[in-house]
Each structure stands twice: as C-alpha cells, then as structure tokens.
Amino acid sequence: MEQWDANDKTVLITGGASGLGAGFAEGFLKHGAKNVVILDIAEELGKATVERLNKAHGNKAVFIKCDVSKEEDITRAFDAVLAHFKQIDVIINNAGNMADAPDTWRTATDVNWQGLVSFTLKGVKHMRKDEGGAGGTIINISSTAALVKLPFVPIYEGSKIAVLHFSQCLAMDPFYEDTGIRVLTICFGGTDTPIMQNLETKSYHPKLGKMFAAVIVPDEICQKVESAVTALVEMFKIGTPRSIWLSIDNKPVRDITPVIDRVFKDFENLFV
C-alpha cells in the first residue's frame, strides 16, 4: 500500500482555531509538517491556538483571519498564504457549521459548501502538475449526515452530501493522473466539538429542534476529537486518490469507497 507523509509539507486548515481543525494542526505538526496555516473567523481563539502550537512545535504555525462564507476573505487569505510560503501542499476544508435556523442557514451553507468549493478550486489551480504546480492533497470534510436521512437539519445534511458528491466527481479518473492532486473525503460521525452543542437551536423549526436534542445525545454518541484526528492523519497516510472514509465511535478509520461506488452504480442502473 502506498504511503504519503506530511514531512516538509505546508498545510492549510480552514476552521482551525478550535475543535477538529486545531486537532488536525497538532496532528500534522506531530507527523512532520513544515508549517500549518490556520484560517478561522475566531481571531483571538485562533491566535491562542497558534501560540500554543508554536510553543510545542517551534514557530511552525500561522493564523490568518478568514470568514469562509465570504469570497473576498477566501481570496485574500489564500493569496496571503502563497505570498508567505510560496507553496501549499495540503488543504483541509474543515470549516463547517450546523445552523438550519431561518436567520443563519444561508451563511452556514456558504461556509459548508461555497467556501469549501472555492478553496478546493483555488487549491487545484495552484497545485496541478499539468500547469506547473507540484501536486498535493485536498481533504474535504463531509459527515455521516451525508449518509443518512434525518428530518432535523436537512439544510446541513444537504450541504454535506454536496461535499461528498462534489469531491468524488471532481476526483474521477484521470484527475489524479493529470494533476497529481489527491482528493480525499472523510465522513465523521458525531464528534465532541462545539457543533454538537445546543442541538435544539440547530433546526429550521423549534419543534424539530426539540426532537433533535431528544434523539441525539452527544454524551452517548460522540467520539473523541483525538480519535477523529488520528483517523484523518491515517487516511492522509494511506488514502488512495478519490477515496472516501468513515470515522465513527472512536473506531479505526475505514475506507468506504466500495460502498459509495456500489450505491452510485445502483443509481446508474436506473437509466439502463
């Protein structure tokens, strides 16, 4: 099995100030990354995370404030990373928000979907070997919400299945052969991060929000952040181009590409 490593890589992480993103930054530094760049809207928290990482790993972490829901912020931040480091080897599109409420769903969708697409396309343009780049890896964070049907947060679920389908379609052969860019997707189950707090406020309707909080009990279903970080780092090391992975219940990460491919093959057979 081919192995990839993080040695001497510059890693860009959206939503990296806390939770999974901060964990990914720590994980990649422990595995030899040359630099990690944390992008987040939470400036004070991001700076504190970078200070902690730099104390532990030397001056290898940088924070850049970025609102992933705004294209001008994305462009400014991406250009700033390139100006400083000249090259980006790994992009982890981690920024996400579960907020289906009437006054928040549009911004949340911009973060979960539009921002991810924008960073992915900018990464492809920068990395692709057939246009002078050095290749690289783009990791898109989906969710088990893309694999199930639940009524509580349909907008969030829709954004996560969009991430899954976008990633697998983008990465279809001969994408890796042409570009040298490995696209990986990981679906996390419930994980002990702020997104799993105050579930009653997450739905588009108060009744569904109460049902959501009653059905989904974070203390019972959430895996540890450390487990999710280990899963993503392991996927980075062994994941083949276009592969899709599952991380749930503090279990070892699992390649579910064959399952997803079978499902879509069944869809295709509807047209035969």
Nearest to 1 by CA among 245, 238, 223, 197: 238
- SS3 state of residue 40: strand
Tokens of 174: 């001969």
Q: Which of 156, 175, 236, 245 is catalytic?
A: 156
Nearest to 201 by CA among 118, 121, 97: 97
- Taking the C-alpha atoms of residue 6 and residue 90, their distance in angstroms, rounded to an integer, is 9
In eight-state DSSP terms, residue 59 is: S
Question: Nearest-5° angle of CA 255, CA 261, CA 265?
Answer: 165
- Taking the C-alpha atoms of residue 110 and residue 67, their distance in angstroms, rounded to an integer, is 10
- Taking the C-alpha atoms of residue 13 and residue 29, their distance in angstroms, rounded to an integer, is 12
Give the other-Cβ count within 10 Å of 163's Cβ: 24
The answer to whether the beta carbons of residues 250 and 223 sit under 8 Å apart is yes
In eight-state DSSP terms, residue 200 is: G
Residue 156 is a catalytic residue: yes
Question: What residues are labeled active site?
Answer: 156
